[in-house]
């Protein structure tokens, strides 16, 4: 809405304080087309006047409504039932000659009369256009206000904030709660075979990242995603624009507990410890080795779900045993069959 439209709308407001409307003696000049909510100095001054006058949105809309009142159609100009006439006497060679000017007077009256009515019609249409523009501007302002409403403040336990160290902000009417984890793939998995990655590859790939949980105002948890320590989307073997979380069951609602989200973040970290070669988003993310090279340098741990002969001695790095009744080798802290399954608590 521009300044001229605003001043026109104010003049239509009737209140006990302003029974004849609000007249703003403000020289807007070339600023008449500036938006009323712009940084134009005249717009700032007009907004101050409106605020001091105590005018609210409801009153402005009422002023608009009055501007929208239907006006009678402008009639065609007619000289019927109007008495007019005239003549002049011209002295020519000592003789007085009377000249009838009735036709000329009629033509001029019709021309100027119709011209006045045309201007009235134009002004009435222009006023309607101003009112319509003002109405749509107000509706847009209301829509923007609803879209940018402030989210209620979260009430969180101080001890949980210290314990779980979340980062909390908002984005697009959602809460964003981020938890630090360590991205550290240690195993490869392909066609039921598990591999232990080479230590040099683990050291090259591992890094600190954050799991971000978008949460709506009604506490619905949207799909979590990873960002790096610079806040950019973290690209990895199972994530580019989004992230694949294997068989981790993602929660749908938040119970206001930071511990609950921290537990889910732990499960997602455990899921990332295995690179499932059968389900890759990209085989070589930026700054990371190609998965073919990882496999060439990896050590085969065995086929999952198939029992094998176990040595009786224990090693300092791994303790190898057979899961009774299942026949599945369990090696140290490696996740069991099924990428993404963890030993953490299910949310």
Domain ranges in the chain are 3-147, 166-304
Locus of tokens 């100095």: 41
- The 10s digit of each residue's pLDDT in 47-59 is 787 777 777 666 7
Q: Return the HEC string of the chain.
A: CEHHHHHHHHCCCCCCCCCCCCCCCCCCHHHHHCECCCCCHHHHHHHHHHHHHCCCHHHHHHHHHHHCCCCCCCCCCCCCCCCCCCEEEEEECCEEEEEECHHHHHHHHHHHHHHHHHHHHHHHHHHHHHHHHHHHHHHHHHHHHHHCCCCCCCCCCHHHHHHHCCEEEEECCEEEEEEEEEECCCEEEECCEEEECCHHHHHHHCEEEEEEEEECCCCEECCCEEECCCCCECCECCECCCECCCCCCCCCECCCCHHHHHHHHHHHHHHCCEEECCCCCCCCCCCCCCHHHHHHHCEEEEECCCCCCCCCCCCCCCCEEEECCCCEEEECCCCCCCCCCCCCCCC
By percentage, how much of the chain surpasses pLDDT 90?
Answer: 34
Q: What is the chain's mean pLDDT, rounded? A: 76
Q: Take residue 120 and report the two structure tokens written for it.
A: 């009235």
What pLDDT sits at residue 201?
A: 96
Winning range, highest mean pLDDT, from 36-50, 80-94, 178-192, 294-308: 178-192
Q: Which two tokens stand for residue 314?
A: 């224990």
Q: Is the pLDDT of residue 215 over 90?
A: yes
**With bands split at pLDDT 50, 70 and 90, how would you rate the model's confidence at 333?**
very low
Predicted confidence band at 324 (pLDDT cuts at 50, 70, 90)?
A: very low
Q: What is the pLDDT of residue 148?
A: 55
The pLDDT assigned to 319 comes to 36
pLDDT level of residue 267 (50, 70, 90 thresholds): very high
Q: Is the pTM of this model over 0.75?
A: no
Q: Region 34-52: what's the mean pLDDT?
A: 78
Q: If pLDDT is split at 50, 70 and 90, which confidence band does 266 have?
A: very high
Residue in 90, 86, 83, 11 with CA at minimum distance from that of residue 53: 11
Give the residue-averaged pLDDT of 313-323: 39
Average pLDDT over residues 139-159: 71
Q: Please give the pLDDT value at position 345.
A: 36
Of all residues in the chain, the percent with pLDDT exceeding 70 is 67
């Amino acid at each position: 809405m521009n300044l001229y439209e605003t001043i026109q709308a104010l003049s239509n407001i009737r209140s006990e304080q302003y029974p004849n409307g609000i007249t703003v003696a403000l020289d807007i000049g070339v600023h008449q087309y500036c938006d009323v909510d712009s940084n134009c100095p005249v717009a700032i001054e007009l907004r101050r006047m409106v605020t001091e006058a105590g005018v609210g949105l409801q009153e402005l809309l009422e002023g608009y409504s009055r501007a929208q009142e239907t006006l009678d159609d402008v009639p065609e100009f007619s000289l019927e039932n109007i008495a007019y006439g005239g003549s002049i006497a011209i002295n020519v060679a000592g003789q007085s000659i009377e000249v009838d000017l009735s036709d000329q007077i009629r033509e001029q009256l019709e021309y100027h009369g119709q011209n006045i009515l045309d201007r009235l019609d134009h002004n009435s249409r222009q006023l309607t256009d101003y009112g319509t523009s003002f109405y749509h501007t107000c509706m847009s302002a209301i829509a923007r206000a609803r879209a940018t409403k402030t989210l209620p403040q979260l009430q969180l336990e101080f001890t949980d904030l210290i314990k779980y160290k979340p980062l909390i902000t908002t984005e697009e009417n959602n809460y964003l709660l981020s938890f630090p984890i360590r991205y550290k793939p240690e195993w490869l998995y392909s066609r039921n075979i598990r591999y232990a990655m080479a230590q040099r590859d683990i050291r090259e790939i591992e890094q600190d990242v954050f799991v971000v949980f978008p949460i709506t105002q009604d506490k619905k948890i949207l799909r979590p995603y990873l960002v790096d320590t610079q806040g950019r989307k973290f690209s990895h073997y199972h994530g580019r624009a989004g992230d694949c979380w294997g068989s981790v069951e993602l929660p749908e609602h938040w119970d206001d507990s930071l511990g609950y989200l921290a537990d889910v973040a732990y499960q997602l970290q455990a899921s990332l410890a295995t690179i499932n070669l059968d389900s890759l988003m990209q085989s070589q993310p930026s700054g990371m080795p190609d998965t073919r090279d990882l496999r060439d340098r990896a050590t085969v741990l065995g086929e999952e779900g198939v029992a094998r002969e176990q040595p009786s001695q224990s090693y300092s790095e791994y303790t190898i045993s057979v899961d009774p009744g299942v026949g599945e080798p369990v090696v140290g802290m490696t996740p069991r069959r099924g990428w993404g399954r963890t030993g953490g608590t299910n949310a």
